[in-house]
Chains A and B, each alone.
Chain A
Amino acid sequence: MREVAIVAFGQSDHRRDSAEVSEVEMLMPVLHEVLDAVGLRAGEIDFTCSGSSDYLAGRAFSFTMALDGVGAWPPISESHVEMDGAWALYEAWTRLLTGEAETALVYSYGKSSPGDLREVLTRQLDPYYVAPLWPDSVSLAALQAQALLDAEDAEDTVADERALAAVAARSRTAAEDNPHAQVTGSPPPEALLGDPYLVRPLRRHDCPPVGDGAAAVVLAAGDTARRLCHRPAWIRGMDHRTEAHSLGVRDLTRSPSTRLAAERAGAFEAPADLAELHAPFTSQELILRRELGLGEGVRVNPSGGALAANPMMAAGLIRLGEAAAAIHRGAADRALAHATSGPCLQQNLVAVLEGDVL
């Protein structure tokens, strides 16, 4: 398989409301940041791929505006997924593997502030049987969390409310070192347990902040990657899998798609020292840890993860970017990156990133 690496990563500051800037204005500094990092202009990139959602933007073909911002002139080879940018990165990766491109620009963005995100996400459900009931995203996650708490089989997971609070406290404390995070700092888990429920058994700290944000990465192959980055984050494997949509046919305490994607990506072939998991809800981190077999020796979400900043359509790409950036600066040698989409972890992507031995 051809060597492909993440060679640059940038993200915006994630904020609850960015009414004063358009999506394009939010994205542009991030695009410039990653292009400057590798010394390339948009026209010198072989392939560009983006991820976003019309439903967040509130208009059809919303991605066309972002493309105008990229400055696609002379015309560029370009594509778009209506998914989190992690899947745009996957599409770009396959393009580099064919040898048709040496470099790729991947970006994604989402502004949740103009709408009520919990209601907007109900439009993502089965349109005939489920969406008309308007079950919101936090309530669905609460169903999943309660299933986990109720599960008899808790051999390798301590799934109680204190364990959930510990995830929240650790993530938001870690986010103090992340200048882009939306929510930073946390009281200790014991204190968090005194908070009222938002949707039982989830308290506010068990849920991600709603926010606006953008992210971008540059991919490059082989020697091009070595030229553009002093320590490229090589993509050793990447895979993604989907599960059934209906919650009634899934065991919500498990994530077989994550495990399968991890297997196919080679995640279990050697231990990782860092994992960036896209777990918007605390209970989901416990589920993902179990499927990925992450022991105590693995640093999970040193960026603060999605509990500190969860810009829709970009949060998954940010996990890949944060994992790669840790490799770039020598803070990790082998990292797992995970992205999710859909209700209750329906769709999951896992990538294995490695740096050359220093």
Chain B
Amino acid sequence: MTKEPVAVVGIGQTKHTAARRDVSIAGLVREAAVRALDDAQLTWADIDAVVIGKAPDFFEGVMMPELYLADALGAVGKPMLRVHTAGSVGGSTALVASGLVASRVHRTVLTLAFEKQSESNAMWGLSLPIPFQQPLLAGAGGFFAPHVRAYMRRTGAPSGIGALVAYKDRRNALRNPYAHLHEHDLTLEKVRSSPMLWDPIRYSETCPSSDGACAMVLTDRAGAERAPYPPAWMHGGAMRSEPTLFAGKDCVSPRAGRDCAADVYRQAGITDPRREIDAVEMYVPFSWYEPMWLENLGFADEGEGWKLTESGVTEIDGELPVNPSGGVLSTNPIGASGMLRFAEAALQVRGRAGEHQVDGARKALGHAYGGGSQFFSMWVVADTPPAN
């Protein structure tokens, strides 16, 4: 049996910022959804189903907020699914939505992810004291820092690589009007001398806490033909999960990430991702995860990721631009961060990324991960429909 091809015909996001005090949660998601509908030149009546995702409910203190958001998302009278797969959720949500189209259960689906971190405190949202379970060790940075050190030790990477990533992503963010951080006066030296938070991760190498939402309209082949702007076509999508902590886990390069990448490349017919992919939107909440994921995703051999970063290949005008949007390091509404990666990859192949457009981007990878590097979701999108 054949699947229906899935096209991205509408993308909308909010201007991300530390606190959107002018809108409710409903107002925030509505803003992104309306922009996605406008981009697709569709109305609420054209939407058959809504798939929404966000990270833990404790971040805003609302249990199953999709129930309250049904009205704001035009979901009344329609099917609505709520996905939650930790930090990878934005990507997983898009993939669940794509499944509704691919299975021909629905023709046009609105998918949206959000976080309004200002209504609560993510650090405490992650630090509820449960007996006999390991807390996230003073926020996510405390959990990930030892794995960064392990990467440095394993590969011999020099200590300045992380700063290069942060400096690059923050400069890219200046070209993206929706990015949260616009640090016009940032220099490499300022990144390098910023306070040490979780050795070896410095303040300027960490992601901000953002309020924001991202929405996409996914549709079938007939829907794509009616779209006013070029669609992005999905060529592959996959999710992989592995246990949080166990003796055999490779926290530097989790097997779930490698397997997930191999699956999307197989679906998309990609044999040499380094040459065949034109732009990557990668989930890099701490700067060192760029070289780590370059290896995990098959763009570099083991131990070689940091060399790609150091050589400038991942700069916006390099051979393999990584996070031309500024990435998670510049914008982090947690639940939406994964969908932003997927949406920014789609923007690139649609040629609609504006100032941060990568010249001639025809095939792009969107990547998200979550939990203790245990959940992965990815898609490959291109400017032409898949062959089958």
A and B together in one complex: yes
Q: Which of B56, B100, B242 contacts A60 (CB 8 A)?
A: B56
Q: Which of A48, A94, A120 contacts B105 (CB 8 A)?
A: A94
Tell yes or no: A157 within 8 A of B by CB.
no
| Inter-chain contact B239/A54, CB cutoff 8 Å | no
Tell yes or no: B311 within 8 A of A by CB.
no
Bound Cα distance A245, B26 (Å): 12
Chain B 253-268: CB-based contact to A (< 8 A → 1; otherwise 0): 0111001100000000
Q: Which of B239, B248, B255, B256 contacts A79 (CB 8 A)?
A: B239
Considering only residues 47-72 of chain A, those with a C-beta below 8 Å from chain B are 48, 53-55, 57-61, 63-65, 67-68, 71-72
Q: Which of A61, A74, A76, A99 contacts B1 (CB 8 A)?
A: A99
Bound Cα distance A54, B70 (Å): 20
| Inter-chain contact B81/A125, CB cutoff 8 Å | no
Chain B contacts of A82 at CB under 8 A?
57, 64, 66, 82-84
| Inter-chain contact A127/B70, CB cutoff 8 Å | no
| Inter-chain contact B241/A121, CB cutoff 8 Å | no
| Inter-chain contact B84/A80, CB cutoff 8 Å | yes
B160 to chain A, nearest CB (A): 33
| Inter-chain contact A245/B70, CB cutoff 8 Å | yes
| Inter-chain contact A64/B63, CB cutoff 8 Å | no
| Inter-chain contact A79/B96, CB cutoff 8 Å | yes
Chain A contacts of B372 at CB under 8 A?
64
Considering only residues 62-96 of chain A, those with a C-beta below 8 Å from chain B are 63-65, 67-68, 71-83, 87, 90-91, 94-95
A232 to chain B, nearest CB (A): 18
| Inter-chain contact A123/B96, CB cutoff 8 Å | no
Chain B contacts of A260 at CB under 8 A?
77
Chain A contacts of B133 at CB under 8 A?
59, 65
Tell yes or no: B99 within 8 A of A by CB.
yes
Chain B contacts of A127 at CB under 8 A?
25, 60-62, 65, 68
Bound Cα distance A9, B371 (Å): 29
Chain A contacts of B60 at CB under 8 A?
127
Bound Cα distance A72, B242 (Å): 5
| Inter-chain contact B63/A75, CB cutoff 8 Å | no
Q: Which of B61, B71, B243 contacts A245 (CB 8 A)?
A: B71
Considering only residues 269-289 of chain B, those with a C-beta below 8 Å from chain A are none
| Inter-chain contact A81/B83, CB cutoff 8 Å | yes
Knowing A72-B241, A76-B241, say if A94 contacts B63 (CB, 8 Å). Answer: no
| Inter-chain contact A123/B61, CB cutoff 8 Å | yes
Knowing A65-B133, A123-B62, say if A98 contacts B3 (CB, 8 Å). Answer: yes
Tell yes or no: B300 within 8 A of A by CB.
no
Considering only residues 49-92 of chain B, those with a C-beta below 8 Å from chain A are 55-71, 75-86, 92
Tell yes or no: A243 within 8 A of B by CB.
yes
Chain B contacts of A76 at CB under 8 A?
240-242
Tell yes or no: A242 within 8 A of B by CB.
yes
Tell yes or no: B126 within 8 A of A by CB.
yes
> Across the two chains, which residue of chain B brings its CB closest to A264?
B79
Bound Cα distance A257, B96 (Å): 22
Mark the stretch among A182-190, A287-295, A301-309, A339-347 that contacts chain B: A339-347
| Inter-chain contact B63/A55, CB cutoff 8 Å | yes
Knowing A75-B259, A98-B99, say if A123 contacts B63 (CB, 8 Å). Answer: yes
Tell yes or no: A254 within 8 A of B by CB.
no
Chain A contacts of B81 at CB under 8 A?
81, 83, 87, 90-91
Kindly count the residue-residue contacts between A and B in the assembled complex, taking CB atoms under 8 Å apart: 189
Chain B contacts of A74 at CB under 8 A?
242, 255, 259
| Inter-chain contact B96/A91, CB cutoff 8 Å | yes
Chain A contacts of B240 at CB under 8 A?
75-78
Chain A contacts of B371 at CB under 8 A?
61, 64
Number of chain A residues close to chain B: CB under 8 A: 64
Tell yes or no: A240 within 8 A of B by CB.
yes
Most buried by A among B63, B105, B254: B63
Chain B contacts of A48 at CB under 8 A?
241
Bound Cα distance A206, B371 (Å): 41
Bound Cα distance A347, B2 (Å): 31
Bound Cα distance A265, B23 (Å): 37
| Inter-chain contact A94/B374, CB cutoff 8 Å | no
| Inter-chain contact A73/B82, CB cutoff 8 Å | no
| Inter-chain contact A342/B84, CB cutoff 8 Å | no
Bound Cα distance A240, B48 (Å): 12
Considering only residues 22-40 of chain B, those with a C-beta below 8 Å from chain A are 24-25
Chain A contacts of B3 at CB under 8 A?
98-100
> Across the two chains, which residue of chain A brings its CB closest to B243?
A68
Chain B contacts of A97 at CB under 8 A?
103-105
A322 to chain B, nearest CB (A): 23
Knowing A124-B64, A341-B67, say if A60 contacts B76 (CB, 8 Å). Answer: no
Chain A contacts of B243 at CB under 8 A?
67-68, 71-73
> Across the two chains, which residue of chain A brings its CB closest to B376?
A75
Tell yes or no: A244 within 8 A of B by CB.
yes
> Across the two chains, which residue of chain A brings its CB closest to B79?
A240
> Across the two chains, which residue of chain A brings its CB closest to B374?
A64
Considering only residues 198-236 of chain A, those with a C-beta below 8 Å from chain B are none
Bound Cα distance A64, B70 (Å): 27
B189 to chain A, nearest CB (A): 37
> Across the two chains, which residue of chain B brings its CB closest to A260?
B77
| Inter-chain contact B82/A346, CB cutoff 8 Å | no
| Inter-chain contact B61/A54, CB cutoff 8 Å | no
Tell yes or no: B102 within 8 A of A by CB.
yes
Bound Cα distance A64, B80 (Å): 23
Q: Which of A1, A60, A98 contacts B128 (CB 8 A)?
A: A60
| Inter-chain contact B64/A83, CB cutoff 8 Å | yes
A144 to chain B, nearest CB (A): 15
Knowing A87-B81, A243-B70, say if A128 contacts B24 (CB, 8 Å). Answer: yes
Knowing A81-B83, A127-B68, say if A98 contacts B246 (CB, 8 Å). Answer: no
| Inter-chain contact A95/B99, CB cutoff 8 Å | yes
Tell yes or no: B43 within 8 A of A by CB.
no
Bound Cα distance A21, B165 (Å): 45
Chain B contacts of A246 at CB under 8 A?
71
Chain A contacts of B163 at CB under 8 A?
none
Bound Cα distance A271, B309 (Å): 64
Tell yes or no: B125 within 8 A of A by CB.
yes
Q: Which residues of B contact A (CB under 8 A)?
A: 1-3, 24-25, 55-71, 75-86, 92, 95-96, 99-100, 102-105, 125-126, 128, 130, 132-133, 238-246, 248, 254-256, 259-260, 371-372, 374-375
- 3 nearest A-B pairs in the assembled complex, by CB-CB distance: A60-B56, A75-B256, A97-B103
Besides A64-B374, A91-B83, A346-B67, 6 more A-B contacts (Cβ < 8 Å) are: A58-B128, A61-B126, A65-B244, A72-B256, A94-B100, A99-B1
17 A-B residue pairings within 8 Å (CB atoms): A54-B58, A57-B130, A60-B128, A64-B372, A65-B133, A81-B81, A91-B81, A94-B103, A124-B62, A127-B61, A131-B62, A242-B80, A244-B76, A245-B67, A341-B64, A341-B67, A347-B70
